[in-house]
């Protein structure tokens, strides 16, 4: 299945060849739509593989986390931006 990724939010992530990224503009979205609906692109979808692997990723991640020593687990830092001032909050 073809997917259109609109905007830069997912920049830097790995995508399957079935994903077409575009800018959040009418012209760019229109171009991406034309590409994913082309016969050549649709014909290429049969050979698409998931670059992240197959099913079972959640179980694999859980197995790794369960085997980590408790002292190695750290909370993620989030930044809540209000105006020009950023505040860091630790979530654990």
pLDDT above 50 for 91: no
- Please give the mean pLDDT across all residues of the chain: 83
Please give the Cα distance from 12 to 31 (Å, whole number): 21
Whole-prediction pTM:
0.57
pLDDT above 80 for 63: yes
3-class DSSP assignment, residue 5 = strand
Backbone angles phi and psi of 57, in degrees to 5 = -60, -40
What band does 2 get if pLDDT is binned at 50, 70 and 90? very high
């Amino acid at each position: 299945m073809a997917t259109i990724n609109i905007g830069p939010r997912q920049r830097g992530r790995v995508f399957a060849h079935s994903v077409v990224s575009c800018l959040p503009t009418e012209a760019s979205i229109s171009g991406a739509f034309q590409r994913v609906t082309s016969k050549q692109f649709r014909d290429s979808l049969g050979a698409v593989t998931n670059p992240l692997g197959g099913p079972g990723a959640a179980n694999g991640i859980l197995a790794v986390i369960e085997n980590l020593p408790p002292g190695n687990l750290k909370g993620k830092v989030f930044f809540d931006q209000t105006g020009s001032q950023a505040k860091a909050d630790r979530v654990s």
